[in-house]
Structure 1
Amino acid sequence: MSTAIETRLFGEDASLSLSWPWAAYWIAFLRVLVGTLFLHAGMDKFLADQPFDAGWWLTGPASEGIIGPVMVWFGQNAPWIVNVMIPLGELLIGLGLIVGALTRLASFFGAVLMFFFYFGNAEWEHGFVNGDLLTLVLFITLIVFGAGRVWGFDAYLERTVTVQENSWLRYFLG
């Protein structure tokens, strides 16, 4: 089944033909792929020999970036928040994406983390287009397409009475 999307971009008519089954498979694949990336990153931090400590990065390399003052404040005043929230956030974001539960919420917080990782990278040693930016774009893609509806727990949640009666909850689902 193909569908044509008709719209106007920059004052010009534009059309895009999509094969929905293939698009659904692709978005589910991207969701699980990004979820696995984040689950692995979170597990690495939890299972490491030494406790995770971002203090060196917050007051060092990240202090020179565009959002340096924010990073320095956290590094000096509340490093424990970052040291807990990064590994825990990566773990929960990864799990949420893999099972497709609260997909938009998980993707939003993943995008927030990637925003800080990308703009905290002061020197962009690998160029402006790097893995952090691409992962940020993937999270935004998952938010836009509601990726949890394809082979995800969100499809079940959206059919529950609670979500049916409170339609605003659908903004957290995928």
Structure 2
Amino acid sequence: MATTVDTRNVLGEGVSLELSGTWAGYWVAMLRLLTGWWFFHAGITKYANLWTSAEPFSATGWLTGATQGTVVAPITVWFGNNAAWFVNFIIPLGETLIGLALLLGVLVRFAAFWGAFLMGFFYLGNAGFSHGFVNGDLMGLLLFVTLIVLSAGRIMGLDRFIENWDLVQNHPRLQYLLG
């Protein structure tokens, strides 16, 4: 089981990263599955709390209070005051869909991009940094970037098979979403 990631750096020189060997493949697959379960569980739990908890998930407090003085504060305060219902729906939906895509190994780069986006937003939004600059949000962001770079969907994931479909073969740019 081997996958090779080939990119171009800013100087135009080829950069290649070869991931080969059974243990490396298992490790990348495990990272994908654990990250997928983490996000799937986070999203589905928020939806489950809507029906089973006296206090359902609400982003309003985090949006309006926890982010004061951060880079994303103007955005989050506006959403907290005007469209908290949207955030209360879209964040759990995004977490659930990102997690499901990673668990199945479908559109892994696309899902991991949005996972990295959310984690970047959470990292900047929780910028009190009471635990330092290296925290769980940054580690989550790095997990998603790792999945993108190592083409984790091609290792024990459905992306490996989807890349052989005629649609993807006829439109090679779709491969950037897979893997």
TM-score range, shorter chain: 0.7 to 0.9
State the number of aligned residues.
168
Structure 1 stretches of 4+ with a deviation exceeding 4 A read 15-19
Match of 1:56 in 2: 61
CA distances 1:74-126 after superposition (whole Å, capped 9, x unpaired): 21222222111111111111110011011011101100110111110031122
1:52-91 aligned at under 5 Å gives the runs 52-91=57-96
**Partners of 2:168 and 2:92 in 1: CA distance:** 30
| Distance apart, 1:17 and its partner CA | 8.2
Alignment RMSD = 2.6
Q: Is contact 1:63-1:122 (8 Å) kept?
A: no
| Distance apart, 1:16 and its partner CA | 8.2
Aligned amino acid, residue 34 of structure 1: T
Match of 1:12 in 2: none
Match of 1:44 in 2: 45
SS at 2:68 equivalent = helix
Query: Which ranges in structure 1 are unaligned for 5 or more consecutive residues?
Result: 10-14
Structure 1 stretch displaced more, 77-86 or 97-106: 77-86
The yes-or-no answer on 1:27 pairing with 2:28 is yes
From 160, 164, 173, the equivalent of 2:165 is 160
Query: Which ranges in structure 2 are unaligned for 5 or more consecutive residues?
Result: 10-15
The yes-or-no answer on 1:98 pairing with 2:103 is yes
The yes-or-no answer on 1:115 pairing with 2:112 is no
Distance 1:159 1:61, change over 3 A: same
**Partners of 1:67 and 1:168 in 2: CA distance:** 32
Q: Is contact 2:2-2:25 (8 Å) kept?
A: no
TM-score (normalised: structure 1): 0.87
SS at 2:178 equivalent = coil
Aligned amino acid, residue 166 of structure 1: H
Q: Is contact 1:59-1:71 (8 Å) kept?
A: yes
Distance 1:90 1:151, change over 3 A: same
CA distances 1:33-53 after superposition (whole Å, capped 9, x unpaired): 100111111121011114321
**Partners of 2:150 and 2:20 in 1: CA distance:** 14
**Partners of 2:82 and 2:171 in 1: CA distance:** 39
CA distances 1:143-165 after superposition (whole Å, capped 9, x unpaired): 11111001101111101011100
**Partners of 1:83 and 1:2 in 2: CA distance:** 40
Distance 1:154 1:58, change over 3 A: same
